[in-house]
Amino acid sequence: MKLTQAELKQFDEEGYLFFPSKFSTEEAELLKQAADEVYAMDRQEVWRESSGVARTAFAAHTYNEPFRRLGAHPRLIEPVEQLLDGQVYMHQYKVNAKAAFDGDVWQWHQDYGTWARDDDMPEPRAMNIAVFLDDVTAANGPLLFIPGSHNLGIVDAGHDLETTSYPLWTLDRETVTKLAEDGGCVAPTGPAGSMLLFSSLLVHASPPNISPFGRTIVYLSLCHVDNHIRAFNREEWIAHRDFAPIKPLPDNCLNELIAQQSVAAE
C-alpha cells in the first residue's frame, strides 16, 4: 500500500491519516476473536484495569498467529516505510481494550516522549499504525488527537505513575488547553477494520468508556531500523530489542487463516 501525494501532505500538516474499512469485516472478526483469546490468558503481557478487565496485551504477535501475521501485513508496514524512508522494526505491539463500562482513560501524551525518556530512542523516526477491531464511535472511548501538535517536537511532560495501571509521561491541562486552542481536537471514528496512522509526536488521549459497547484497537509501533532504542529499562515485551527489519507478508495473509478456519469447521 502506497500513500498518495495528497495523503503525504495531509500527514505532514495534521500528523495522522485515517482509512475507513481498510480491512474487511472478515479480517476484523478474525482479529477480534484473537483479541478475546489473548485477553483470556494469564500472562504477564496482559495488563488489567482495577476491575479485572483487560486494558492492554503487549507483544501479542509473539504468541498469537493472527497477530503475528498482522504484525507483518503490507497494508501496515509499507506506508510506514514510505513515511520513515526505510525499513522498520517492531518497537512495540499492543492490543488495547476499552471494555464496556470499565475501560479506563489514557491520559494526554506523546508516544515519542515516552520512547525517548524511557527507551533512549534517538529521534522521532517512529510512528503508530492501528486497526479497529470494533466499531469505534463517539460513545465508546475513541482516540482524541490535537492535529498539528506533532510539529512542536517533544512537549514537557510529567511521569504519571498513579492514574492508571500503566505508567505514562503525560501533559498537564494547561499545556493541552493551549495546544487545542491552536489545533483543535478531533476523534477519528469508523467501523471495525478501519486503519489509523499517526506520528509518534502527535498529542493524543482517549476518554473512559462508560458505554455498553466495547472498543478494541491493535497498535503497531514501528521504528526505523537505524533509530532503534539504546536503553533497555523496560521489559523486552514492552520495548522490543529485536531490531531486524520486518519482511512484509502477502496481502492475503489473514484471509489464508480465515479459509483454514472455514475448512476446519466443515
Q: Which three cell numbers stand for residue 143?
A: 482516540
Contact 211, 115 (CB under 8 A): no
Using one digit for the tens of pLDDT, what is the confidence trace for 225-245? 999 999 999 999 999 999 999
CA 217 to CA 18: how far, in whole Å?
A: 14
Show the CA angle centred on residue 31, arms to residues 121 and 234, nearest 5°: 25
* Backbone angles phi and psi of 140, in degrees to 5: -115, 35
Q: With bands split at pLDDT 50, 70 and 90, how would you rate the model's confidence at 223? A: very high
CA 134 to CA 25: how far, in whole Å?
A: 10
Of the candidates 213, 179, 204, the one whose C-alpha atom is nearest the C-alpha of residue 102 is 213
Using one digit for the tens of pLDDT, what is the confidence trace for 88-141? 999 999 999 988 888 788 888 999 989 998 999 999 999 999 999 999 999 999
The pLDDT value given to residue 163:
55
Q: With bands split at pLDDT 50, 70 and 90, how would you rate the model's confidence at 66? A: very high
In the chain, the amino acid numbered 21 is: S
Q: With bands split at pLDDT 50, 70 and 90, how would you rate the model's confidence at 166? A: low
> What is this structure's pTM?
0.92
The stretch 31-41 carries a mean pLDDT of 95
CA 157 to CA 122: how far, in whole Å?
A: 18
Using one digit for the tens of pLDDT, what is the confidence trace for 195-218? 999 999 999 999 998 999 999 999
Q: With bands split at pLDDT 50, 70 and 90, how would you rate the model's confidence at 169? A: confident
* Backbone angles phi and psi of 217, in degrees to 5: -135, 135
CATH number of 5-224+241-265: 2.60.120.620
Backbone CA torsion sign across 19, 111, 67, 166 = negative
The pLDDT value given to residue 159:
64
Q: Which three cell numbers stand for residue 60?
A: 501479542
pLDDT more than 90, % of the chain: 76
161 has a pLDDT exceeding 60 = no
